Amino acid sequence: MQTAAARDTAHTAAGLLQESLPFQVPQAVHTQDFERLKRLIRRPGHFQLIIAQFNAPKYRDTIIAAANAAGRNPAAVWTLAEQPDLGVLQTGLAEYAATASALHLVGLDRWLAMEPNPILQGHPVQPSPILQRLNYRRESIAAATRFPLVLWLAPGQVRDLAEQAPDLWAWRDAVLDFTLAPAAPPEFDRQSSRERSPVDAATARDRLAQIDTYLLDAPAIGSTADLLLEAATIHDALSEFDAAHERAEQALERYRALDNPRGVAAALGVIADGLETQGRIGEALRIRTDEQIPVLLRLGDKRAEGKALNKLGKTYAALGEFEKATACHEQALTIARADGDHLGEANTLLAIGRLALRTDDHSTARDAYQQALSLFRADNARLGEANTLLAIGDLALRIDDLAAARDAYRQALPLFRAGNERLGEANTLQGQGLLNLMEGDAAAAFRNFIELPTTFQSIGDRLGVQAVFGNMARAAAALGQIDRALCLAGESLALGRAAEDRFGQTITLELLVKLLQDAGDAAGWLAALMLYRELLAGMGDRRTLAQTDALWQQVVQQLSAAELELLRTQAPAHLETALAAARERFGSGDPTRLD
């Protein structure tokens, strides 16, 4: 029992709802759309356009197989060739019309992804020739296709279809959503992929003081812009996002005044990084696509462009737009390879692996990590090697290969320690703690986490402290110590609020929903659920929000509008009351120390 609980804790990304509804095909959140799909493809004889949105090819294939298994006349599946050819598309559809009762058209997403990405090319948005042609030919397609046609597209492509092929879009019979939520513990992903941290918070603060003193009466010249940018990166590493943002904006202003495009791009990158870390993904995306990348394209600095594309890929992944994320990383990989930049190639492969991990494409992740590891080792780049081993450990953890996870973490740890890379060391120890949790040894996991808040504090990483408190809460819950877990999760939430880290807060609120449910605190549970949904809505994370819809509908059915409104205003207080009650029940002990 304990093992199952521990595994859930380590595995789930969406948290409560996915834990209560174990992974299956279709996932619970897709049940209604899956039923609609089955019904729709059983109506042969006339043209029906069904648009299915997906972001994980393996999951798409499993959905198609499951839908076909459920009916007597399985729908045909046509996987388009690698290279776009619209002529073939039209004749092929006519051929299928002679034999098939319905058709899943797979691969159009790939064709669309191959079209030049206007954002990446630095041009204003141009209409997609493929979508335009489909729109123009819609009548002949409909005439030739007298059966249900399921178009499988990536999320962003569905929007493009609506905007750029409006007449075809108007003929749609259904738009179904089969996108997967990120599957990893997201705060752990974020921590693992952070690049640099100060070795020592005290040294970093001394440096900030030195810079601030100098800047008091320094002129607005290039060297002071550099200092402002450095101060911004230090504040960012210390999780002081407001200060980081302010300094980066000041640097940006000076670089612009000095007509220094490289500085402008660097400052924009720091601003976007900070926003993304805080969960302000949309703003980060806008800055990267509308401002930073166009500057880099004009500069022609391929290396910086590749690096920025990898960051953009990470941003798209955070939005669940995995196709676009993949396109960014692949373009970065092409640049690095064409340039013979082995380290750039290795870093891009690492990013590709992380993305594949998020979409549960484990074999792609494994291949990418192995290639990255070889390149880093060939270059004797130990930090890169250690980061890749850490990523391999995380992958192994995800696929339950606990021995491999242990081995990878064991190799990564001394490399981080030898280089005095304390962030990497702390993240590896966190990974080992999660491994213990999965092995059912929650006490060992807790012991693994115990020293980490101090380590993260020493390097000024408040987000690290926040994440580790969350993991300690999970370990405590697995030990059956719900009040301790609530105390720790409450600490984690407070840290997230202090840092104005909305992303981190969603993770903790998700955990609190589960813990308060386990604690039987109905008012607290409802308050946590409401705050969780409000935060997701505020961040624009509609996908994760949708995962709570079914549960929320049950709540709404039982409450009047007035009661709901009252709950909305009182939710913060209710949650505080629930956490205070847990602290009182727990007593005066230190929740971070096991008795």
Partner 1 sequence: MIEPTVWDYRDNLDYDLPLNPGDPRLVPLNDARGDFSEHRILKALGMDPNSRELRKAPERLYVLFGGHRGCGKSTELRRLVSKLQGPKGYCVVFIDALSELDIHNLRYSDIILAQAKALVTTLQAADVTIEPVFVGRLNDWFKERIENHSQIRDLAVEIRAGAKAEAGLPWLARLFGELTNSVRLNSTYKEEVRNVVRNSFPELADGFNQLITRANELLRRHGVARGLLFVIDGTDRLSGEDQDRFFVQDIHQLKLIAASFVYCAPINLLTEQGQLQQNFAEVFRLPMVKSGEKGASAMNTKTRELLREFVFKRVPRACFEDLETVDYLIDHCGGHPRDLIRLLNYSFQDMPGERFDRGSAASAVGRLATDYKRLLEPDDYGLLALIDQAPPDYAPVTPQTRRLLYNLALLEYNSFWWRSHPVVRTLTGYREALAQLQGQP
> Which residues of the chain form contacts with partner 1 (CB under 8 A)?
196, 198-200, 203, 207, 210-211, 213-214, 221-223, 226-227, 230, 262, 302-303, 338-344, 379-383, 418-420
Q: Which is nearer to partner 1, 95 or 339 (CB)?
A: 339
Min. distance of Cβ 339 from partner 1 in angstroms? 6
Pick from 555, 470, 554, 557: which is nearest to 514 by CA?
A: 470
Distance CA 57, CA 590 (A): 47
Structure token pair of residue 461: 């990483």
Phi-psi region of 440 (alpha: psi -120 to 50; beta: other; left: phi over 0): left
Structure token pair of residue 222: 């290039």
**C-beta separation of 342 from 379 below 8 A:** yes
Min. distance of Cβ 380 from partner 1 in angstroms? 6
Residue 79: count other Cβ atoms within 10 Å of its Cβ.
12
Q: Which is nearer to partner 1, 331 or 436 (CB)?
A: 331
Min. distance of Cβ 296 from partner 1 in angstroms? 14
Min. distance of Cβ 236 from partner 1 in angstroms? 14
Min. distance of Cβ 246 from partner 1 in angstroms? 19
**C-beta separation of 71 from 40 below 8 A:** no
Min. distance of Cβ 499 from partner 1 in angstroms? 24
Residue 199: count other Cβ atoms within 10 Å of its Cβ.
15
Min. distance of Cβ 306 from partner 1 in angstroms? 10
Distance CA 279, CA 275 (A): 6
Min. distance of Cβ 247 from partner 1 in angstroms? 15
Q: Which is nearer to partner 1, 91 or 210 (CB)?
A: 210
577, with CB counted inside 10 A (0-12, 13-18, 19+), is: middle
Q: Which is nearer to partner 1, 343 or 450 (CB)?
A: 343
Location of structure tokens 């939005």: 319
Q: Which is nearer to partner 1, 198 or 470 (CB)?
A: 198
Instruction: Say what the alpha-carbon torsion angle 136, 139, 140, 144 is, to the nearest 10 degrees.
Output: 140
Distance CA 548, CA 533 (A): 8
Question: What is the C-alpha end-to-end distance of the chain, expressed in Å?
Answer: 23
Q: Which phi and psi angles does 178 have, rounded to 5°?
A: -120, 35
Distance CA 295, CA 394 (A): 35
